[in-house]
Amino acid sequence: MKIYVARHGETSYNAQDRVCGATDIPLTPKGLEQAKELAEEVANHPDISLMVVSPLLRAQQTAQAVLDRCPMEKRTDVRIREQDYGYFEGRERMEPEFRVARKQFAKPCPQGESLFQMAQRIYNFLDELIQEAPAEEVLLVAHGSAARVLRSYFVPMSNEEYANFYQNNCALEMYETDKGHTFP
């Protein structure tokens, strides 16, 4: 099974370097163009027959651009939504408080969720998806931190590698599985 992971297109918070998380905002005009470019890239993978999308608007808009170019079955799954950063939503990403909070894997952000909570729901989703194997090739449309967790499921990463992994807006990554085992 091949699992492709795409991050949504640019939002105003991305452009302003603000924490977006669970805040439900639309794509910018640039983000809509990025989504169309992603659709062209996905068209090069005609065996993708299922798309699973975060319920947040920016992911849904990105998915719609892909569907407009590449018709396939679409499902929405809340488990691949972005981490809820609570108090930090909308704040600058470089604020010292947020930079410290991001490194607290087990401690939830104030009024939000922890990285471990997000990882648990995403890992559970992937376990189920791979066991169910609803398609040979699946596209997931998710978010930056979710993409980092998704990668960590497939690729052994040190804490430093995990912290430094960044998936650009509308970038496409591919991972393969074989009978329940994952390979980078």
pLDDT tens track for 53-94: 999 999 999 999 999 999 999 999 999 999 999 999 999 999
Token reading at 80: 């691949």
**In this model, does residue 133 exceed pLDDT 80?**
yes
pLDDT computed for residue 102 by the predictor: 84
**In this model, does residue 184 exceed pLDDT 60?**
no
Residue 164 in contact with residue 28, Cβ under 8 Å? no
Sorted by sequence, the CB contacts under 8 Å of residue 9 that are 6+ apart come out as 27, 28, 30, 31, 32, 33, 34, 35, 38, 58, 61, 62, 65, 169, 170
**Average pLDDT score over the chain:** 94
Whether the CA torsion 38, 40, 42, 44 is positive or negative: it is negative
pLDDT computed for residue 123 by the predictor: 98
Query: How far is 136 from 151, CA to CA, in rounded Å?
Result: 19
Q: CA angle 13-61-38, nearest 5°?
A: 90
Q: Where are the domains of the chain?
A: 2-183
Query: How far is 98 from 141, CA to CA, in rounded Å?
Result: 25
What pLDDT digit, counting tens, does each position of 18-34 carry? 999 999 999 999 999 99
The pLDDT of 173-184, averaged and rounded, is 71
**In this model, does residue 15 exceed pLDDT 70?**
yes
* pTM: predicted TM-score of the whole model, two decimal places: 0.94
The yes or no reply on domain 2-183 and CATH 3.40.50.1240 is yes
pLDDT computed for residue 182 by the predictor: 52
Q: Which of 12, 14, 13, 19 is nearest to 97 (CA)?
A: 19
pLDDT computed for residue 135 by the predictor: 82
Q: Which of 152, 147, 140, 141 is nearest to 9 (CA)?
A: 141
The share of the chain scoring above pLDDT 70, in percent, equals: 97
pLDDT computed for residue 23 by the predictor: 96
CB atoms inside a 10 Å sphere around CB 163: 12
The DSSP letter of residue 78 is G
What pLDDT digit, counting tens, does each position of 97-108 carry? 998 888 888 899
Extended beta strands in the chain, E state: 2-7, 48-53, 73-76, 137-142, 172-178, 181-183
